[in-house]
A and B are shown apart, each in its own frame.
Chain A
Amino acid sequence: MDFRAIHDHLRAIDAPGLLGSDEPRPPSKEKKDKGRAGDPYLLIDPQLLPQFLHVCRDNPRLSFEMVMDITATDPKKDGEHFWINVQLISVRHKHRLALKCLLPKAHPVLPTCTTVHRTCQWHERECAEMFGITFVGHPDPRHILLPDDWIGFPMRKDYEFPREYHGISCE
């Protein structure tokens, strides 16, 4: 199925947490629209993301049995939201889907997706240490790449670099 068909099917079965969709479009001068490149994506409510993934996995026409990636994006330094980006792929039907969630920076908490896909563990651990996003219910919430005593969240736009770490100067 292509993106439009997937979207219509999800609307038809009334998937939980589906808020909207966005597709790339060419720029137009009359509408003063800069256009958008990239992939089409679905906008999901972050608090209902596991339920949504569950529907996507178990629906026989979609059968998104694999999560390729869960990442976050910090689009603006003084913005109010993170993006959570999820890439799904269906090996059986050979189609893929991009999901996005808007997560408020003031309270970056969402339920873990490891209950649906166990692959999400490492992705969520990286996401948690790089952006300071809490995945509630994660079975192993340690750091994955950074040292255990690392302070700060390096992938945030307002991150300040450490001046020294364990006696090693960073100037």
Chain B
Amino acid sequence: MMAVGCAHHDIDRFGAGAFRATPRQSDLMIVAGTVNFKMAERIKRLYEQMPSPKYVIAMGACATGGGPYYKFGYTVVKGVDRVVPVDVYIAGCPPRPEALLEGLMKLQEKIQGTPVIRKPKRTA
């Protein structure tokens, strides 16, 4: 994620480089590491603090499915999708910067395909 933010890969080319330090100003949460039980409740609270519409990317093996801690990690949540709904999963341990950009573009596609609910026309 650091590499994606820096000049070589440059997340700003996709208009996605506006990192925010608070969930109240963000619409996308990238879960970029191992989620344990202590952290899971905080992640859920952060997700609920985000304004709708909101999206979640699970980045890397740990966040998508527990990763190497799947079998013997007694405090590791086996995928962040058990806590919050996830839109895009990115594979890799750690994912390449290109993979994260691909995930972002997938999410943009997903958002573009979402039907917009229009107000019904007023009659009389």
Contacts and interface: CB of A to CB of B under 8 A. Distances in A.
Interface residues of A, number: 12
A3 B37 CA distance: 43
B14 to A, nearest CB: 33
A146 B41 contact: no
Contacts of A154: 74-75
Interface string A158-171: 01011001101110
Contacts of B74: 154, 159, 161-162
Interface string B29-41: 0000000011011
B82 A166 contact: no
Contacts of B77: 168
A147 interface: yes
Nearest to B72: A161
Interface in A126-166: 146-147, 150, 154, 159, 161-162, 165-166
Contacts of A168: 37, 40, 77, 82-83
B37 A169 contact: no
**Interface of chain A: mostly helix, strand, loop or mixed:** loop
Contacts of B40: 166, 168
Contact of A170 (B41, B78, B83): B78
Given A162-B74, A168-B77, A147 B38 contact: yes
A154 B36 CA distance: 14
A169 B82 contact: yes
A146 B37 CA distance: 9
A166 B41 CA distance: 9
Interface string A82-125: 00000000000000000000000000000000000000000000
Nearest to A170: B78
Contacts of B37: 147, 165-166, 168
Interface in B32-54: 37-38, 40-41
A124 to B, nearest CB: 20
Contacts of B41: 166
Nearest to B74: A154
B68 to A, nearest CB: 16
Interface of B: 37-38, 40-41, 74-75, 77-78, 82-83
Interface of A: 146-147, 150, 154, 159, 161-162, 165-166, 168-170
8 contacts: A146-B38, A146-B75, A154-B74, A159-B74, A162-B74, A165-B37, A168-B40, A168-B83
Q: Considering the complex of A and B, which 3 residue pairs feature the smallest CB-CB distances, nearest first?
A: A154-B74, A165-B37, A147-B38
Given A147-B38, A154-B74, A161-B74, 18 more contacts: A146-B38, A146-B75, A147-B37, A147-B75, A150-B75, A154-B75, A159-B74, A162-B74, A165-B37, A166-B37, A166-B40, A166-B41, A168-B37, A168-B40, A168-B77, A168-B82, A168-B83, A169-B82
